Structure 1
Amino acid sequence: MCAEHEHKAAQTYQDSGLPRVLLNCTVNGENVSQWIDPTMSLLHFLRHELNLLGTKEGCGEGECGACTIIFNGRAVNSCLVLAQEAEGSRILTVEGLGQEGQLSILQQEFIKEDALQCGFCTPGMLMSARALLDRNPEPEEEEIKEAIAGNLCRCTGYYPIIEAIKKASEREKEASQR
């Protein structure tokens, strides 16, 4: 999405004139309490209010997966969720994957396996993969394919992505046994 369109979208929410609602949630481990426009999507809240720009807006209709986040343990398209629905929730975005300035194992494997090119789909793909590995640390290839089925990639194809997720699974298992 171009910067001009994003600015207009943000301005639309600021100018809606509806009474604001208080949103309290946890984003990437940090408590957030903010007054928001009740018509704002969770995607726009993350990008425009919290400046978490890793979550991308692609289609705005829940079809491409670029805006995928982990919402209370599940991968969801943040463009389809109203921000006010996040009251009391736990949200993880791509910015929350690494720790102490270090990339997560999953992010490292995406780089090693060349599972990214333009990078537009990468944050959503990483979040779908993270949600899968959180619920099933040793997924079969079919489970990986199913988990990322809602994320469209136009550049790399899916084989490097699938391999990166497999390798991350193996490395995370090894790390947990240490």
Structure 2
Amino acid sequence: MTTQPSIELVHGDITEQHADALVNAANSSLLGGGGVDGAIHRKGGPAILDACRDLRASRYGKGLPTGRAVATTAGRLHADHVIHTVGPVWSREEDRSGLLVSCYRESLRVAAGLGARSVVFPAISTGIYGWPMDDGARLALRTVREETRLPVAEVRFVLYDEDAYDCFERALAELERPSS
């Protein structure tokens, strides 16, 4: 039986979360980077990098395409799996929102395939990739709220700073407001 997952917002560090799966806002190389990606690789340890190198040597020789997701071990993190997804770089000239929505959908699909009941997300693409936080929050929350066909029971958005948390809180309140 599938139902709408519960959604929780947390102000904090994604690498400190306990869950079945943590989502990594990765770059296409899968080999680590800055922001959330770097933090997950550092805290999770070399097992994550080794698994990512194996993926690059097999299925993803040219890197993970934007909007796709793939899972690895979580290494030393408090999770069973890390789901890596590559968000789009924001553009004023081109609507890439479908790719951002795909990051969340594909990550949930991968999580369901792993049997994960709890999934933790960062705010994908809203850091160095420049996606406006308010729009990123709206797209992320709406996508997760619409996902009712997968057995994921709990989705947690872990937001590193207060501004991000506030944007997600406003977007969640708007999403939960009854339509008239």
Higher-strand-fraction structure: 2
TM-score calculated relative to the size of structure 1? 0.28
Q: Which has the higher contact order (CA 8 A, sep 6+)?
A: 2
Q: Which has the larger radius of gyration?
A: 1
